[in-house]
Amino acid sequence: MIIPCQCLLGEGPYYSESRKCLFWVDILDKLLYRFDLQQQTVSRYPMEQAICWVMETTEQRLIAGFERGIYYLDNSTFQPIELYSLSNLAINNRLNDAKTDRNGYVFFGTMDKYEQQSTGALYRFGHQQVPTIVDSNYVISNGPAISKNGRILYSTESSTRTIYQFDLNEQGELSNKRVFVKFDMTMGFPDGMTVDNDNHLWVASWNGSGLYRFSPQGKCVQFYKLPAPRVTSLTFMGSDLDTIAVTTARTGLEQHVLEQFPYSGGVFIIAAPVKGIAETPVHL
């Protein structure tokens, strides 16, 4: 199944079991999308600033990362209510990808909108802590993702095609940063990620036309090709978490490429060969 939403920059797919809905965003078009699995309907909600990700709290409230802050979303109108301002971000920076760890801490990245300066960082918040930088010197912070046992965090620096691993403790503290996988020129650029129930890491590939699946040892074990060159992120969805939703982008593609890949910017819903892991709600 393909949801032909033609996002400029589709990102941040998130499945809410309590709502039976898949959410995702179009960062450049400032849109929040919702796909109701029971009704099979798609709704979209315009925002006044770029929205970068959305997830659910332990109270089943939605929160979202916007360009320069984190907000609650009203349960009925989806209008934002400020939670944390990030006014101290570098002038050309914005939020990017985010994920919770198994204890409900949120890890999110920032990036240089012009993809030139290493002014981006990886942040953490949750458990009554405000957003705090836990790793720095990113041009484009992407991912992140958490191992099945919750003890490893994966974080991507897309500009250098590098996925890092950290040790992660129960307090959300990171240590022992090391390279996990480095994409070669033929693989595109690693983007959004998630971990499946077999503890394998799935990575969306920007300009790589698909999804890579890596073993915990960093060996590429599968590649899933998609009819869109700019694959941005993925999540497992459905009550059994046996389906994958994949976001893609149209931005920057020349007209002849869009004619060749008309579903670029759409959301691809595909059957998974393995089940996923339910997202842990944010513990504010």
Give the active site residues.
191
**Among 52, 108, 55, which Cα is nearest to 235's?**
55
**Nearby residues of 39 by Cβ (< 8 Å), 6 or more positions away:** none
Distances (CA, A) of 244 to 131, 200, 222, 234, 274: 30, 14, 15, 7, 10
Q: Is-contact 270 243, C-beta < 8 A?
A: yes
Residue 191, judged by CB atoms within 10 A of its CB (0-12, 13-18, 19+), counts as buried
**Among 146, 272, 99, 275, which Cα is nearest to 198's?**
275
Residue linked to tokens 């099979």: 40
Rg (CA), the chain: 17
Checking DSSP bridges between strand 152-157 and strand 141-146, what pairing results, if any? antiparallel
Integer Cα distance of 15 and 257 in angstroms = 30
